[in-house]
Amino acid sequence: MKLLEGKKGLIFGALNDKSIAWKVAEAVCEQGAGIVLTNTPLALRMGETAALAEATGSPVIAADATSVQDLEALVDGTMAHFGGPFDFVLHAVGMSPNIRKGRPYEDPNYDFFMKTLDISALSLHKLLGTLYRKDALREWGSVVALTYIAADRVMPGYNDMADAKAMLQSVARNFGMVYGKSRHVRINTVSQSPTPTTAGSGIKGMDRMLGCADAYSPLGNATAEDCASLVTALFSDLTRKVTMQNIYNDGGFCAVLPNPMYDE
């Protein structure tokens, strides 16, 4: 029997085959799950989600993750497709207008800053609130959100996304308590190695970040496929008692103090 046989879920953020969400979608389907894909209308027009939908036999429902109205329609549509509540959700949503516009952390556009927080962190709260109100997840369901070590350590170039990821992790912990106590739904974040995705390419110094992390990680950087394997496990019944955790999937980088001695 496959690991996710009979399970059903909702995947946010699969833009193209470089996306972690794309790899997660492929991995969970390989393990027997059925999925619904979602992204913003613009991303669906510009990206390649339709190809993934065809390959996995999955419907696509457009939604702006910052809009409660859109999220309600998305959750309703997902439950209609599956014939009731479902088992898992991947939140892979993040964007910083300040990074896109080249504004430094010390001199941001604060309207952009608020947009970063809304898209990259508050969207998780809005999503969880919608799922909770509609009782859309089955008991022992699982929600995973993608984050990065810059939420905990200073990473030059990550800008206001670092603050957004810190907020995201806080939302996961606090809502994890509520959802866990009432319905045994678990909520975790995965702190992934820097990964060459379309979204990550806009971060200043991304190439150096990739090289540094890979050099100091005892196991090397985790790939998007590695992340997909971990997320698949978190969606499975093997991790029923894992919740409110930030799980590092970074080859050990989070535990290492960079030191020139390691280059010897």
Question: Could you tell me if residue 1 is inside a domain?
Answer: no
User: Is 63 among the domain residues?
Assistant: yes
**28 belongs to a structural domain:** yes
* Residues 18, 127: Cα–Cα separation, whole Å: 24
- Asked if the structure places residue 109 within a domain, the reply is yes
Q: Which residues contact 170 (CB under 8 A, 6 or more apart)?
A: none
Query: Is there a domain that residue 3 lies in?
Result: no
Instruction: Give me the domain span that covers residue 52.
Output: 8-263
pTM of the model: 0.94
Backbone angles phi, psi at 189, to 5 degrees: -115, 150
User: 134-174: per-residue pLDDT in tens?
Assistant: 999 999 999 999 999 999 999 888 999 999 999 999 999 99
Per the domain annotation, does 118 fall within a domain?
yes
Does residue 195 sit within a domain? Answer: yes
φ, ψ for residue 145, nearest 5 deg:
-120, 140
CATH number at residue 35: 3.40.50.720
pLDDT digits 0-9 by tens, 85-140 = 999 999 999 999 999 999 999 999 999 999 999 999 999 999 999 999 999 999 99
Number of domains in the chain: 1
